[in-house]
Amino acid sequence: MVIFLLVLIGGISYYAFSKPEVKAKFMFNANRVYYGKEYYRLLTSGFIHGDWFHLGFNLYALHLFSKTLIQSFTQVGLVNPELHFLILFVLGVVVSEIPSLLKHKDNPYYNSLGASGGVSSVVFGSILLNPVGMKLGLVFLPIYLPAFLFGILYLLYSNYQSKKGTDNIGHDAHIFGSLFGLIYVAAIYPNSLIDIMEQLKNWDGNIF
């Protein structure tokens, strides 16, 4: 299922690279969704990307964290872990766009695209299940932090950049996709809230 999803996202994105009309039809546009009732854009925007770097980064992160999340789902005894992963990703794409929909509904020029909202949901779902043992860091910096610390810093940075609004990146989608990932995993596995408290309680305080 994971491989199928990666191929699907990659294939549609590649096709849209040379078809501007497809990209324009699929991308998220708050005005068209809200007033034109083109609700499909909430989902299809997650299957197209702006360029090869954007696509490659999202596919790499999705591939990496899908394995982690599915393994964690399996370890805690959830039935159909791959199905839960797929639901989390798809709903993450849709839910992460809703704040931007309400915020930019009167701006016909606001567009966004990419799977980042869904990827953020998967990443933060993984963090909730393994907040201390998993180490995360930036691709270009050899510094790795406990996952929960990385997650906190990521949300603070995204919130700062969202308010600043100067880099043309959908930070709101990152924030709300991340929060949805936490909520979804906590809902389907309530013991995760107990587990995270135990892991933090037993954390030795070692940051790196």
DSSP category for residue 140: T
Q: What are phi and psi of 136, to 5 degrees?
A: -130, 150
3-state helix, strand, coil in the chain (%, to 5): 70, 5, 25
Q: What are phi and psi of 40, to 5 degrees?
A: -60, -25
CATH superfamily of 2-201: Rhomboid-like (1.20.1540.10)
Nearest-angstrom CA–CA distance, 180 and 155? 13
pTM value surpassing 0.85: yes
Locate 167 and state its tokens. Answer: 């880099």
Q: What are phi and psi of 112, to 5 degrees?
A: -150, 160
Question: Using CA atoms in the order 135, 138, 140, 142, what is the torsion angle rounded to 10 degrees?
Answer: -30
Nearest-angstrom CA–CA distance, 67 and 88? 14
Q: Which residues is 136 bridged to in the sheet?
A: 145
Nearest-angstrom CA–CA distance, 113 and 24? 10
Q: Are 94 and 43 in contact, with CB atoms under 8 Å apart?
A: yes
Please report, in tens digits, the pLDDT of each residue of the chain (208 residues total).
899 999 999 999 999 999 999 999 999 999 999 999 999 999 999 999 999 999 999 999 999 999 999 999 999 999 999 999 999 999 999 999 999 999 999 999 999 999 999 999 999 999 999 999 899 987 666 778 899 999 999 999 999 988 876 666 788 999 999 999 999 999 999 999 999 999 888 888 777 6
Nearby residues of 31 by Cβ (< 8 Å), 6 or more positions away: 104, 105, 106, 107, 108, 110
Nearby residues of 19 by Cβ (< 8 Å), 6 or more positions away: none
Name the strand (E) or helix (H) holding 137.
strand 135-137
End-to-end CA distance of the chain: 34
